[in-house]
Amino acid sequence: MGRKKVRILTLILIIVAIIAMALGALLYVTNQRLVKSAMDADSVKTELENNRQTNVWVAKTDIKKGDSIIDSKTAEEKNSNDPSQSRDEQTASAIIQTEVIANIYKDDIYTSLPRSSYITSEQIGATALVDIPAGTPIMANMVEALTITTDTREFEITAVNLMVDQQENDIVDIRLAFPNGEDYLVLPKKQIKNLSLAYADFWTYMTENEILTYRSAVCDAYQTTGAYFYAVRYVESNLQDGATANYLVRSETIDLMRSDPNLYATAEQTMNASARLALEVRLGQLTDDQLAAVANGLGIADTAKNSVLAQNTDNNAAAIGSYGLDKHTREEELNSDSEETTEDTTGDATTSNGLVSPDTFNSTELSTPVDIDGGT
């Protein structure tokens, strides 16, 4: 009996020892893991701190291709009124200009790229080359600095036939086509700003030489019936270089512009009316589904389509009224001619205008032979 108790006690001790050893091993392994995790966390923290970039420009909102990079300071300067202006001038300026909103801000990011990979404050005002989602750090190769010379100006263009799906920030060439087939590049690689399809105009940056060239081309087109300006869009403006302008200013046009200061204004208004009419015609050929898709995608009011439909409705109504009046008049004339013809057939075989009626000629037999030589 005593031996049995000893064996049981020994077995219990062995089991306890095994459990204790297992627990010890588990604690040791867990501790080693915790130590390793702590070391890894410290290593990651150190690596993050080493790769931390402070005050990096980040997109505050979604920036579309062609938009300008604007910070809060620049936005405040553009939105603030000039103290030297009168209250009326400030009010007019506020009405004409749209509010400028900052689309970037500074934030800390973690990256292994060098600081030179991201834009600096000197690149504020550059143009985005690609769409930049909100929260994305803006890299230097995502933007292109706007080249501003001493004679660069914002210029309004109103004489160009725009594409039906023309969009803000499109990069286009402005070309001039003549009715004899000649086609010239007037303004290469221009960015469309403040686009208004309702008035067929937009703004772009132009130098003094480009302004004079464009004005001369407008006068040339005005003096040539059938000549017109049109815009062609670049497929990928980031990869495609601008073409070379080949339009040559004529000395006769320059002399004419000097002799008649109002020539350009008249030519511009005429070409704008022509471009607007051409755009309305193209819009009028679109289906309602296509126009709805364009309106939903671009957020523009379809004023051109409505004006074309209204004009077509008025024209159709006028045509229907004119057709009804003409039909009534023609019926009266036909009835009158029929009565006169009936009366004339009772006397001789002639119509009211003195000619032989075909019906009477066919129904009447010749009772007297006709001599070929002219005798009877």
Given a contact cutoff of 8 angstroms between Cβ atoms, the answer to whether 155 and 191 are in contact is no
State residue 86's pLDDT score.
Answer: 54
State residue 173's pLDDT score.
Answer: 95
Would you put residue 169 in left (φ > 0), alpha (ψ -120 to 50) or beta? left
- Please state, in angstroms and rounded to a whole number, the distance separating the CA atoms of residues 17 and 196: 88
Given a contact cutoff of 8 angstroms between Cβ atoms, the answer to whether 276 and 200 are in contact is yes
Given a contact cutoff of 8 angstroms between Cβ atoms, the answer to whether 64 and 128 are in contact is yes
- Please state, in angstroms and rounded to a whole number, the distance separating the CA atoms of residues 247 and 245: 6
State residue 133's pLDDT score.
Answer: 93
Q: CA angle, corner 96, sides to 95 and 101, nearest 5?
A: 85
What domains appear along the chain, each with residue ranges and CATH number? 52-144 (3.90.1210), 153-286 (no CATH)
State residue 87's pLDDT score.
Answer: 56
- Please state, in angstroms and rounded to a whole number, the distance separating the CA atoms of residues 194 and 72: 21
State residue 298's pLDDT score.
Answer: 41
Q: Against a cut of 0.75, is the pTM above it?
A: no
pLDDT 10s per residue in the chain (376 long)? 577 777 888 888 888 889 988 888 888 888 888 888 888 887 777 777 778 888 899 999 999 888 888 888 888 887 775 555 555 555 544 444 567 888 899 998 888 888 888 998 888 888 888 889 999 999 988 888 877 788 888 999 988 999 988 998 899 999 999 998 989 999 999 999 989 888 888 999 998 888 888 988 888 888 888 889 999 999 988 788 888 899 887 777 777 767 777 777 777 777 777 776 776 666 566 566 655 654 454 443 444 445 444 555 555 555 545 545 454 554 555 555 555 544 444 444 444 333 344 344 344 443 344 443 444 3
- Please state, in angstroms and rounded to a whole number, the distance separating the CA atoms of residues 187 and 54: 42
For residue 108, how far is the Cα from the chain centroid? 35
State residue 100's pLDDT score.
Answer: 81
Element housing 12 (H / E): helix 2-50
At residue 232, what are phi and psi to the nearest 5 degrees?
-125, 130
- Please state, in angstroms and rounded to a whole number, the distance separating the CA atoms of residues 182 and 10: 112
